[in-house]
Structure 1
Amino acid sequence: MSPLRMIYLALAVWGAIHPMFYFIQWFHAEGWDIMKMVDAWHSNTASSGLVWDLTIAAAALTVWILAEVFTRRNWSAVIAIPATFCIGVSCGLPLYLFLRTRPVS
């Protein structure tokens, strides 16, 4: 595996673990109510801006993944879409780059 692919994989793992650490802490403190978390994301204009920034980035990443999957026929790369929306762009983007840069046979 190339050094670049190892970096992408490490970033995907970090992007999955690090945000989840904070989400799980929040759920333990506030209860397992997803709507309460959504309300917390919009507690002020700065956090709302960040939520929309990440939502738009996730949508753009999804369009890119789908366009490339249909072009390159790399169907396994579709797994980056649920990773993006269930974990975050911090996991989905490097995961997709890892899957996209695999050697072609």
Structure 2
Amino acid sequence: MKGLRLFYLVMAIVGTVVPWLLFGQFFAQEGLNIPLFLQNLFVNGAAGGFSADVLISIVVFLVWATVDAQKKGMPRWWLIFPASFTVGLSLALPLYLFLREE
């Protein structure tokens, strides 16, 4: 399963870099304007639908991962929480799967 673990690691890296490039563009143009950033998540129906989908998915993932990690006695599983809040599901999910393959 080393190939699968490597895949999860690569996806965690990609899942960090791509969103932060886009977030970086926003903050470079708008400054560190968090209220505007949050407002733009729901600027129209398409953005709002996508944002709601991801936010709901991450809540479900965090609940499932917490239960799953406790059942499996996984070390360092809690890293998914800072990953979720600093990047998002694109890092938290592959990171969790990477840690789960240890």
- Name the TM tier (shorter chain): over 0.9
Partner of 2:98: 98
* Cα distance in 2 for residues equivalent to 1:75 and 1:63: 17
Q: Which amino acid aligns with 1:73?
A: G
Give the CA RMSD over aligned residues: 1.1
Q: Which amino acid aligns with 1:82?
A: P
Q: Map of 1:10-21 to 2, 5 A cutoff?
A: 10-21=10-21
SS in 1 for 2:76: helix
Partner of 1:51: 51
Shift of the alpha carbon at 1:81? 2.1
Gaps of 5+ in 1: none
Q: How many residues align?
A: 102
Q: Which amino acid aligns with 1:23?
A: F
Partner of 2:22: 22
Name whichever of 76-85 and 43-52 sits farther off: 76-85
- 8 Å contact kept, 1:80–1:95: yes
Q: Map of 1:33-44 to 2, 5 A cutoff?
A: 33-44=33-44
Could you list the structure 1 runs, at least 4 aligned residues long, displaced by more than 3 angstroms after superposition.
none
- 8 Å contact kept, 1:12–1:90: yes
* Cα distance in 1 for residues equivalent to 2:86 and 2:49: 19
- 8 Å contact kept, 1:65–1:81: no
Q: Which amino acid aligns with 2:91?
A: C
Task: Give deviations 1:39-98, integer Å, cap 9, x for gaps.
Answer: 111110110001110001100110111101221121301101221222011111000000
Partner of 1:65: 65
* Cα distance in 2 for residues equivalent to 1:42 and 1:7: 32
- 8 Å contact kept, 1:84–1:91: yes
